[in-house]
Structure 1
Amino acid sequence: MDNKLAGLPPLDDSYELTNEQTEAYRRDGHILLRGVVNGAELEAYRPVIRDLVMELNYQTKPMHERDTYGKAFIQIINLWRKSEAAKRFVLARRFGKIAAELMGVDAVRVYHDQALFKEPGGGHTPWHQDQIYWPLDTDKTITMWMPLVPIPEEVGSMTFASESQRKGLIDRVEISDESHRTLQQYIDGKGFRKVNYGAMAAGDATFHSGWTLHAAQGNPTDAMREVMTIIYYADGLTVAEPDSKARQNDMRAFFPGLKPGDLAATELNPVVYRK
């Protein structure tokens, strides 16, 4: 075994959820869980993820020359395919079990992971629904969003529109100034309760449904907001008809070789937990 792998904690044990937590997630479409990864574990994995992001970062434009999406974060996708050490983190049974139990399913697959590093002075992330990008017709999708460094109050967690996941698809508009304006009006009009969990410790994590409306504040600090995310979906789903360019692109990228109606399962989508 590689020496680097030998020193990495396996993350195979369970994080125990309460009935109140699973009920809250299913009601609100989001939840904050404290201490999903502990300090020693984070000390082992954070350098792996951080170094990969810095190595693979393609963003060269200065902040003032970028569009709203480009100002929001450095985004690196599928780190687990680029490093055996990152693979151990992304495919961790602990995280998959939480995802399955929150959704109430027996097994979950990874859709993809993505590092989202918001630079000092980075802009806000507009209101959006993740699942407008995913060719999956289901409510059994979930994203884990985990800071690798402490996040202060002025940066905070993401902000969620509670119970908005119950509406399913609201608008196909992709992450942009338009999505922020349109969906902010929708949220205010429907009277959804907006929740921001404030400061988060490294290793805390939020989980939210693919249909839950959410946004994030900018980063006014001089420190990088280092966040790792993993998207899961219930095992046994089929690929939906890609009814937008965004979903067509995602189908090619994350379900290569599949067509609508096929079982949503490729080598890019391993099962990470089965009850």
Structure 2
Amino acid sequence: MRSFVFLTRALRAPNLSSISPVGTRTLATASTLQSIRERVAAAVTPELVETYQRDGAVCIQGLFTPSELDTLKAGIDTNLAAPSERAKVASRPDDPGWFFEDFCNWQSNVAYRDFITSSAAPTAAAALMRARTVRLYHDHLLVKEPGTTQRTPWHQDQPYYNIAGADTVSMWIPVDPVPAEATLEFVAGSHRGPWLMPRTFMDKEAKWFPEGSLADLPDIEGNRTAFPIRKWALEPGDMVCFHMLTLHASAGTTTRRRAFSIRFIGDDVRHAPRRWKTSPDFPGLSDELPEGAPMDHLLFPIVWSKASGQVVGL
């Protein structure tokens, strides 16, 4: 079991007053961008997009190159060596493994930023969402070490967030092989609603929405055959993509499972301040971005647009 005494349970976003634009850098050549377009066109077919829109979850195999994965692994190594103040251990102290999470590090982690902007991820996000513009919402590192028993319980992501809208996609990108018994599982079609009560993962308390304000989660584990559950074993280079309202979960693992998740938002997403603390939270954002406004802020940069294609460098 591993732990870091300096990790905090609170999730704190960077102080908005400290945010400044990062200089644009040339991270990919024209030939690399052409390769990205070709890879995405081959992998994200019209049929796959239809499946994503219908089911809210798809698997894309072999999209990322070894070079892209090397960049991502370097970012993960940097993150694990120096976690941010938003990091947390999401497993119990007596868990024989270790479940670690960290959030919102693209501004300080150069390898993360390079991967987000120069890999195939933004172009694939645009295709899945059928978007004219794609913004980065945030990044999320999830690591389960061998022997971790802590489950990630069934939940939707968007009720934890400060956004409204349907044009969303989360990409869950492993850099280790993930067997079927340890992979993410999804309830197909659950992104069409309803919104379900978000609860803390370990003590099951409702800490974001007042009790009774949203429907409670059905007993999926106790009645699995009643739900259209989808899951895929994954290899490095693969990813699963899912809507931020799609119900998903995962079990513990007997092998190391490092995954990097990128949350992208599209055309109809608007700022939706909550009366409670969101996860991740963005302190002070409501002072700069009115309720109902597009997410036009330095924290959420455009990474792809229909007019100019993939935006290289942040």
TM, length-normalised to structure 1: 0.82
Residue number in structure 2 paired with 1:142? 169
CA distance in structure 1 between the aligned counterparts of 2:302 and 2:67, rounded to whole angstroms:
26
Alignment counterpart, residue 272 of structure 1, candidates 287, 290, 303: 303
1:28-177, aligned counterparts within 5 Å? 28-56=55-83, 64-65=92-93, 73-92=99-118, 94-122=120-148, 123-155=150-182, 157-176=183-202
Contact 2:91 2:98 in 1 (8 A): no
Residue number in structure 1 paired with 2:212? none
| TM-superposition CA deviations, 1:26-82 (whole Å, max 9, x none) | 111000000121223323431232232232177797965269xxx773111123111
Residue number in structure 2 paired with 1:237? 269
Residue number in structure 2 paired with 1:200? 234
Could you say if the C-alpha distance between residues 272 and 256 of structure 1 is closer, same or farther in structure 2, counting changes exceeding 3 Å?
farther
Residue number in structure 1 paired with 2:8? none
* 2:52 corresponds to 1:22: no
Could you say if the C-alpha distance between residues 9 and 175 of structure 1 is closer, same or farther in structure 2, counting changes exceeding 3 Å?
farther
CA distance in structure 2 between the aligned counterparts of 1:235 and 1:63, rounded to whole angstroms:
36
Q: Which moved more, 1:166-175 or 1:24-33?
A: 166-175
Give, as a single letter, the amino acid of the residue that structure 2 aligns with 1:126.
P
How many residues align structurally? 261
CA distance in structure 2 between the aligned counterparts of 1:211 and 1:60, rounded to whole angstroms:
23
TM, length-normalised to structure 2: 0.72
| TM-superposition CA deviations, 1:63-116 (whole Å, max 9, x none) | 65269xxx7731111231112222111234621121121112211101100111
Question: 1:274 Cα deviation (Å)?
Answer: 0.6
Give the SS at the match of 1:272: strand
Give, as a single letter, the amino acid of the residue that structure 2 aligns with 1:216.
S
Could you say if the C-alpha distance between residues 94 and 63 of structure 1 is closer, same or farther in structure 2, counting changes exceeding 3 Å?
closer
Could you say if the C-alpha distance between residues 263 and 189 of structure 1 is closer, same or farther in structure 2, counting changes exceeding 3 Å?
same
Could you say if the C-alpha distance between residues 63 and 162 of structure 1 is closer, same or farther in structure 2, counting changes exceeding 3 Å?
closer
Give the SS at the match of 1:231: strand
Could you say if the C-alpha distance between residues 62 and 169 of structure 1 is closer, same or farther in structure 2, counting changes exceeding 3 Å?
closer
RMSD of aligned residue pairs (Cα, Å): 3.2
Give, as a single letter, the amino acid of the residue that structure 2 aligns with 1:159.
E
Give, as a single letter, the amino acid of the residue that structure 2 aligns with 1:272.
V
Could you say if the C-alpha distance between residues 93 and 272 of structure 1 is closer, same or farther in structure 2, counting changes exceeding 3 Å?
farther
Alignment counterpart, residue 253 of structure 2, candidates 219, 226, 229: 219
| TM-superposition CA deviations, 1:217-247 (whole Å, max 9, x none) | 10123xx211011001114632124143326
Give the SS at the match of 1:110: strand
Could you tell me which runs of 5 or more consecutive residues in structure 1 were left unpaired when the two chains were aligned: none
Question: 1:255 Cα deviation (Å)?
Answer: 6.8
Aligned identity (percent) is 28
Give the SS at the match of 1:250: coil
